A and B are shown apart, each in its own frame.
Chain A
Amino acid sequence: MAKTHDRRRLGAPMMVAAVIAVTVALGAVALAMSAGYQIGSLSRPGPGLWPAALAVVLMMLCVGLLLVPGLAASGASPTMSRQQWSRLASAVAPLLVFVPVMMLLGSSLATGLLAMYWLVAVYRRSLRYSAIWAVVFAVALQLVFVQGLNVPLPGGLLFGGDGA
């Protein structure tokens, strides 16, 4: 189970509304695509019946959530501050380039660079401290996964290795 700690239970209306809207859209897309997989009938259910039923129930529940005052915001975290959004962006951004970097430069450099970035930009550690630990982590991962578990991590296209 995931680690937990206390959060205030106030609503973040915009965030909640966005998540519900996306969920309803997901349901609508799933319903539309399910229709193309042959719904069949109750006596001969086709591959589209189950996802279509789930999509309909999902959309109905989301609408129900919006109709009861206060229910949608219940259990949600407080509105994020600008600082928190900035921290989120700085944490997620490198993840979006991690795979291309890994394919190009290989797993050792990619993990080392990510560790370095994370420690410097996200946790505000010094360059020297971050560089040392980046090397430690990259080497440890190679030892555990490549040497220990025989996982064929990408060697990097730039170094003549396998990019995937």
Chain B
Amino acid sequence: MTDLLHGFMVALTPVNLLFVLIGVMIGMTIGVLPGLGPGPTVALLLPLTFSLDAATAVIMLAGVYYGAMYGGTITAVLLRLPGESASVVTTFDGFAMAKQGRAGAALGIAAIGSFIGGLVATLALALVAPTLADFGLRIGPPEYAVLALIGLLLVSALSDGPMIKGVISAIIGLLVATVGLDPIDATARFDFGMPQLLDGVNLVVVIIGVYGISELISNLIDPAPEVATAPVGRVLPTREDVRQSAKPMARGAALGTVLGTVPGGGGDLPSVASYALERRLAKDRTRFGRGAIEGVAGPETANNAGAVATFVPLLTLGLPPNPILAVIFGALLLQGITPGPALVTEHPDIFWGVIASMFIGNLVLLVLNLPLVRLWVRLAQVPPALMSTATLLVLLVGAFAAANDIFNIWVAIAAGVVGFFLRMAGFPPAPLVLGFVFGTIFEPAVRQSLLLSRGDLSIFVTRPISGTLLALIAVSAAYAIVAAVIHAKRERTRSAADDGVPERETESA
């Protein structure tokens, strides 16, 4: 408790209050505006953090991240355009509510739920993080290797399309991460004689290219249909709305907090899982997709809880669970601070300052969100031509600014074009970027493990924690395979029944 109070003393300084406000406002804005997501934005802001104190830098970047989650909800409800991929499920019932003249209630419940989710996750972070950091001191390279593997497999499984394509994307990312000097004996790899590649490929530039430029080109080729804006109406929810939303919010907060802490978690997972849960628990499932307020309350709460909870593995284990937090990880490294188990003891001002600022940031978002919703709606209606052009210019100049090197603009463009063709072929970008991020953790962990065990691969299985985690992966994979086989068999039976062929005949065939 005294540590948290000390954290509030850090967070409540005028400079940190200013930067949490700047961060959440930028986050809200980019969450509302189509085109520039939190990934490229956080990457573009990274150079700005060079002149800031470490705690201030993380406070601002964190504010951008969870602020964007709030902003994405507004376009999801009013325009049926998810501002962020995590807001996709909100379009189902949120827009339906808007068509019924209840957009304000949807936005109000989403804002309240997001605040509660953020609050619960922040409390959990404050309670769990020191214990997890202590646990982190006991784990070694084999455990880090397995955690990185779990993160990549999870992101691959949850991305669009078949999992094998996600894994291929992840491996491409891992390969790109090998460019530059070998982490153990400093041999130059894949530099092609170019000194600019000796330091490896810049993470900011990869994010700008794969997330920013490729998304821009994709939207150009296949633009989203323009949707009329639904009127906002009364912004505050009724007592009945709050009563119906209470339990979904509670469940969403718990679900989001748990799922956000898993490496590779956060992102779409909490909101999608919450929507599925609320639908399953509902007495009348047919209400979902037609304006069920539970379909907004649960996912939006889970969404924000997940966004805050993703800071748990970053701050306690030094494992960034998604590309956006990888940039924040990079911001701390640039300040000479290594996130990980020792952060709690060596830099308690940063650790507890960031946690305390999340309380403040979530409160600021709740206060700003409701009265300014009409302003955010106007912002969302910026013409796509102007938004797209401005975004492209900012991305290209931002790529240069990442290291004041014109070579990085080429890298960003190349990453953007490659990312575009990978998307078109059904290879998702998220595992690629996370593979790139995890490459700097995964390879050293595997090689150090092999050195420790003198080449014996059983080290990953015989150590209790890594062995247990690998067993969980094996059980999950077996379950998924069995479920797929049963599902395929049921589909064959069903299609045979539709064709009027008796089941016995199909089995003998």
Contact = CB atoms under 8 A, between A and B. Distances in A.
B457 interface: yes
Interface of A, helix, strand, loop or mixed by DSSP? helix
A73 to B, nearest CB: 7
Contact of A76 (B190, B384, B425): B425
A121 B289 CA distance: 40
Contact of B182 (A47, A57, A137, A154): A47
Size category, B interface: 35 or more
B184 A98 contact: no
Contact of B422 (A19, A42, A73): A19
Size category, A interface: 35 or more
A43 B451 CA distance: 6
B47 A149 contact: yes
B450 interface: yes
Given A2-B37, A30-B190, A58-B172, A76 B389 contact: no
Interface string A58-86: 10011011000001011111001000100
A99 B412 CA distance: 11
A46 B211 CA distance: 33
Interface stretch (B158-166, B274-282, B358-366, B474-482): B158-166
Contacts of A38: 187
B143 to A, nearest CB: 18
Contacts of B222: 7, 77, 84
Contacts of A80: 221, 424
Contacts of A2: 37, 39, 85, 211, 215, 429-430
Interface of B, helix, strand, loop or mixed by DSSP? helix
A34 B189 CA distance: 8
B221 A1 contact: no
Contacts of A161: none
Contacts of B396: 95, 98, 111, 114
A129 to B, nearest CB: 9
B34 interface: yes
Contact of A151 (B165, B400, B428, B456): B400
Contacts of A50: 178, 443, 446-447
Contacts of A20: 425
A5 B409 contact: no
B426 interface: yes
7 closest A-B pairs by beta carbon, nearest first, are A75-B161, A43-B455, A75-B426, A42-B455, A76-B426, A19-B425, A123-B385
Interface of B: 34-35, 37-39, 47-48, 81-86, 88, 160-162, 164-165, 167-168, 171-172, 174-175, 178, 182, 184-185, 187, 189-190, 211, 215, 217, 219-222, 224, 267-268, 322, 324, 384-386, 388-390, 392-394, 396-397, 400-401, 404-406, 409-410, 413, 416-417, 421-430, 443, 446-447, 450-451, 454-457
29 contacts: A1-B324, A2-B39, A3-B215, A3-B219, A4-B85, A4-B88, A12-B424, A19-B424, A37-B187, A37-B189, A42-B450, A43-B451, A43-B455, A45-B446, A47-B187, A50-B443, A51-B178, A58-B175, A61-B167, A71-B164, A74-B161, A75-B165, A80-B221, A99-B406, A114-B393, A115-B389, A125-B385, A137-B389, A163-B406
